[in-house]
């Protein structure tokens, strides 16, 4: 396997250490940066994140990363969003207040009913089938969130039940969002990350 370089986008709200360790354990090179010239040199962009949607978008704007990420996605460069990073890919969020997102995958981020929180291990049920996901269908991954993606079915790749089904993987072309934490999901997470990264790089 070629040693692809993953550019972890640093906007001050990511769990970079665990993401970095998982990627390096898989044999990938990792570059953590908010410098667009450095990010231009990587094979795949990754947008992790923990925290609140409005603060994250403010920081992305302040660092000049919104226009950059939108332009890269339009050019077909692979981009993977994790947890909050997945939510930032959407059109907008209703967390705290209405906030426009990166608008790379049409849809909105909305709260679980009754202010529910989804924390712990849960399984993925893939509704769209591709070699990217074959090994991960029915596997359990670690979640920690209280908002979820709501949008057109064509972008919903996998669902998870809590207790009703919500979208846990979304995709539009080479832009993919993972609502769970693959870097905290042990062997299942590493298998999914490896298949996803290699698959997107070859696409």
Whether 127 contacts 161, CB under 8 Å: no
Those residues whose C-beta lies under 8 Å from the C-beta of residue 62, and which sit 6 or more positions away, are none
Those residues whose C-beta lies under 8 Å from the C-beta of residue 86, and which sit 6 or more positions away, are 149, 170, 177, 178, 179
Which candidate in 83, 95, 118, 145 is catalytic? 83
Strand-pair partners of 33: 9
Residue located via tokens 């890269």: 72
Would strands 175-178 and 165-172 be described as parallel, antiparallel, or unpaired?
antiparallel
Q: Say how far apart CA 129 and CA 190 lie, in whole Å.
A: 19
Q: Is 83 among the catalytic positions?
A: yes
Which candidate in 118, 145, 162, 181 is catalytic? 181
Q: Is 183 among the catalytic positions?
A: yes
Burial 22-56 (b: 16+ CB within 10 A, else e): bbeebebebebebebeebeebbbbbbbbeebbebb
User: Looking at the annotation, which residues are catalytic?
Assistant: 83, 181, 183
């Amino acid at each position: 396997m070629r040693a692809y370089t993953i550019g972890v986008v640093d906007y001050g709200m990511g769990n970079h250490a665990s993401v970095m360790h998982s990627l390096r354990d898989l044999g990938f090179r990792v570059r953590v940066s908010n410098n667009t010239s450095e990010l231009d040199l990587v094979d795949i962009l990754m947008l992790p994140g923990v925290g609140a949607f409005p603060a994250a978008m403010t920081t992305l704007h302040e660092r000049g990363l919104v226009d950059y990420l939108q332009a890269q996605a339009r050019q077909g460069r692979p981009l993977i969003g994790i947890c909050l990073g997945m939510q930032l890919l959407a059109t907008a969020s209703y967390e705290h207040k209405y906030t426009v997102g990166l608008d790379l995958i049409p849809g909105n981020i909305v709260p679980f009913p009754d202010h529910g929180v989804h924390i712990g291990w849960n399984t993925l049920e893939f509704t769209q089938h591709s070699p990217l996901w074959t090994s991960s269908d029915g596997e359990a991954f670690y979640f920690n969130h209280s908002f979820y993606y709501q949008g057109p079915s064509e972008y919903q790749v996998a669902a998870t039940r809590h207790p009703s089904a919500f979208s846990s993987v979304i995709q539009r072309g080479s832009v993919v969002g993972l609502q769970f934490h693959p870097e905290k999901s042990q062997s299942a997470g590493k298998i999914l990350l490896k298949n996803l990264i290699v698959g997107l790089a070859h696409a």
